Chain A
């Protein structure tokens, strides 16, 4: 199967299909909610929903890059925890925001670079490499903090996390900016296009002159950086940080990205889909409480929705023959 414009046009069409389906699923959920829990659509609740989406959206935008490049990162939760603790610890020592924030972002990018190096240089499969670094990062973090929780945050960080503008806070604005920037990079820059082509077929990409290292570094460092940005708001919203924070957060992020129709094998996915995936997960979480669903049943509902999303995202390929789905040679 040649990787040319007709193929990418077909893929575009697929995105379109998938996002329509997701939107339809959301619409059904929305109508059900309107009938059963009209409170869901109150401005206060919608503002709350937007705030709860902020961090997840920022990290998911990074994870999308990684998934597009055919990788996966299960250390994102650990990176989030490390950066939050670094931010809050330095801040509580009295350092100003102008020093703490860059240090935090650099830490995130650095940890992402460690992942990228293991994957690109040592050629360790992404899931193994990040499984290892997740244990490593978190182990070192907890050894460093000795389990002490940072129970207060510096006032400038507190100001970032406080609601303003009718219940919205800076994280919503940041999420919007991140999405716009990510859309621009994926759509308009060479690096963005390289990411798609690399993820679709690393070899084909290499033949067209794309480095086999650059996209990997870009994907994991951007995820590290965006996770660090997410960590700023994570810490700011909570007002405290624990060393075992965000345990398992990476799975939520991955679920949101794949629910949004990104192909876990790389090369396919869209920001709009990711946005819808995040929206679906967050509104589901909120709706289940609003509908007074017992806690025991919440996991069942979430798991079922993820499975339905996975099945939906794959149906267009069910009908096609194997040969079309898998092209062994470029």
Chain B
């Protein structure tokens, strides 16, 4: 009995010692603290945005802090932001998992006098000061459909593998993809929309099953960065490379292999690093009480579009990665 007690208290003492080793007071830097929250931490897309933003923030003399939930869950993200409010950051930039769910906590932040930016994915307009958008939902959705239709010659069956059925920005892109197809490509037919839940294995299995279920399937759209590589893998393994077209959104690093071996012709995205840069740049402007101007040139990003009435900043048009240009990108 005594022995066991002793072991427990030895353990405790050891833990206290460990804590004491890391004892230095953190500086309170709330005047220049730029906090960036992604939908979830630990995926390449957001890492790339983080790197761009931290570089730009340091250049502009801001203290950069990046944290977020470990899973794409609006509730978890709200909890993280609530925890961050206690630090009273100078600017808060959030990529919203859900436009509605994030709105109350962001409104609260604004009530406390914290300027709020949304980037990558928007919240309700009254919950933020500015939305830094990579590209308009409509432009992107229509563009991805155009890429697929061009490869299919505007006819045939296609299926969509999306991330999760509940993500609002994915659903917005999905909406415009379908709309573009209905308006411009009546000979194409959408046979199924399935969810891969941002998991490669699940996307892979779903794509395999779709290939079996619809023998006349001619094209796929992967509507989340985990989906296109999984679809490409399924097509490659079914020995159908080149016969089935793939379009969608993913990063060059994930798709490099499939683009180089010609399973995939074109994949679409934007440069998340630039998006991070732009977000930090806008954050610094807000701190200096400046307003972004239309067509102003942002260093490292280029000219941007600003829509003051909707308080929206658009970085540019979507970027297509093909065999010619993929070697220039690394993210």
Contacts and interface: CB of A to CB of B under 8 A. Distances in A.
- Complex contact flag A–B (Cβ < 8 Å): yes
Nearest to B201: A238
Contacts, number: 94
Given A162-B237, A238-B200, A247-B199, A285 B205 contact: yes
A289 B212 contact: yes
Interface in B173-224: 191-195, 199-201, 204-206, 208-210, 212-213, 215
A245 B71 CA distance: 12
B41 interface: yes
Contacts of B70: 142
A171 to B, nearest CB: 12
Contacts of B192: 289, 292
A39 B213 contact: yes
Interface stretch (B99-107, B116-124, B250-258): B250-258
Nearest to B233: A239
Interface in B1-55: 41-44, 46-47
A238 B205 contact: no
Contacts of B46: 147
A7 to B, nearest CB: 38
Given A149-B254, A289-B194, A295 B212 contact: no
A244 B212 CA distance: 28
A148 B43 CA distance: 6
A238 B210 CA distance: 17
Given A146-B42, A286-B212, A151 B199 contact: no
A75 B47 CA distance: 26
Interface in A124-149: 142, 145-149
Nearest to B165: A295
Given A39-B212, A240-B229, A289-B212, A142 B257 contact: no
Most interface-central of A142, A239, A246, A285 (chain B CB within 10 A):
A239
B245 interface: no
Contacts of A242: 43, 199-200, 226
A48 B229 contact: no
Interface in B254-297: 254, 256-257
Contact of B204 (A146, A148, A237, A292): A237
B200 A240 contact: yes
Interface in A277-319: 285-286, 289-290, 292, 295-296
A268 B194 CA distance: 37
B43 A48 contact: no
Interface residues of A, number: 37
A30 interface: no
A299 B191 CA distance: 20
Contacts of A234: 201
Nearest to A169: B237
B208 A48 contact: yes
Contact of A142 (B42, B229, B237): B42
B42 A151 contact: no
A52 interface: yes
Interface size class of chain B, counting residues whose CB lies under 8 Å from the partner chain: 35 or more
B254 A240 contact: yes
A152 B256 contact: yes
Contacts of B239: 163
B254 A48 contact: no
B256 A245 contact: no
B90 interface: no
B233 A148 contact: no
A45 interface: yes
B62 interface: no
Nearest to B257: A152
Contact of B209 (A238, A244, A246, A289): A289
Most interface-central of B206, B210, B212, B239 (chain A CB within 10 A):
B212
A37 B165 CA distance: 26
B210 A289 contact: yes
Most interface-central of A45, A147, A246 (chain B CB within 10 A):
A147
Contacts of A52: 205, 208
B43 A147 contact: yes
B213 A290 contact: yes
Contacts of A290: 209, 212-213
Nearest to A288: B209
Contacts of B47: 146-148
Contacts of B43: 147, 149, 242, 244
B230 interface: yes
Contacts of A147: 41-44, 46-47
A260 interface: no
A239 B258 CA distance: 11
Given A152-B256, A240-B254, A296 B200 contact: no
Contacts of A240: 200, 229, 233, 254
26 contacts: A39-B213, A48-B208, A48-B209, A52-B208, A147-B44, A149-B43, A151-B253, A151-B256, A151-B257, A152-B256, A152-B257, A163-B237, A237-B204, A238-B200, A238-B201, A238-B204, A239-B229, A240-B254, A244-B71, A245-B199, A245-B200, A247-B71, A247-B199, A285-B209, A289-B192, A289-B213
Closest 5 CB pairs of A and B: A147-B42, A289-B209, A290-B213, A151-B254, A151-B253
Given A142-B42, A240-B229, A289-B206, 8 more contacts: A142-B70, A149-B253, A162-B237, A163-B237, A244-B71, A285-B209, A286-B209, A286-B212
